[in-house]
Amino acid sequence: MDSDATDTPPPIDTYGTDSNSRSDSNAVVNALIGGGVGIVLSFLPGSTLLGGAVAGYLEGGGTDESLRVGTLAGLVMLVPFLLFGLVALVFLGFAGSGSLGVLAVFLLLASALYTVGLSIVGAVIGLALGNEL
């Protein structure tokens, strides 16, 4: 019998993977789920906070992962919000006038900051809830 074979550890590719390591595809899926929750609940105040919390809860991991998934969820929620805002601006006639157009663009940028910012805060809250439960 060959004693060298019994003392040799298995190859590295047979070791288990770390359960806390998440792939980017999971982060994108979690961000899409959280963004979808934020869009569906958009009639509620703070829906972006709730969507970010769902994304952060699903992502788990550490703070940096929750910040990334919260940002992605906020960007997912931002797309229909901005499209609705731009359509409303065109129908209200603000897009063609000078100073009112600048004010409207400023309001759209402020709403983008609000949406993504609250989604990030929600993701951190969702992470904390996930770690506590």
User: Domain residue spans in the chain?
Assistant: 23-132
Whether 127 contacts 56, CB under 8 Å: yes
Distance CA 20, CA 76 (A): 24
Which tokens is 82 given?
């901005």
Grouped pLDDT means (10 residues each) for the chain, 133 residues: 64 57 72 93 90 92 89 92 80 68 80 92 92 82
Q: What is the pLDDT of residue 90?
A: 76
* pLDDT for residue 82: 84
Contact 83, 91 (CB under 8 A): no
Predicted local confidence at residue 16, as pLDDT: 53
pLDDT of residue 11: 66
**pLDDT value, residue 40:** 93
Structure confidence at residue 55 (pLDDT): 93
Phi, psi at 33, each rounded to 5°: -65, -45
Cα 79 from chain centroid (whole Å) = 13
**Number of C-beta neighbours around residue 45 at 10 A:** 9
Q: What is the pTM of this model?
A: 0.73
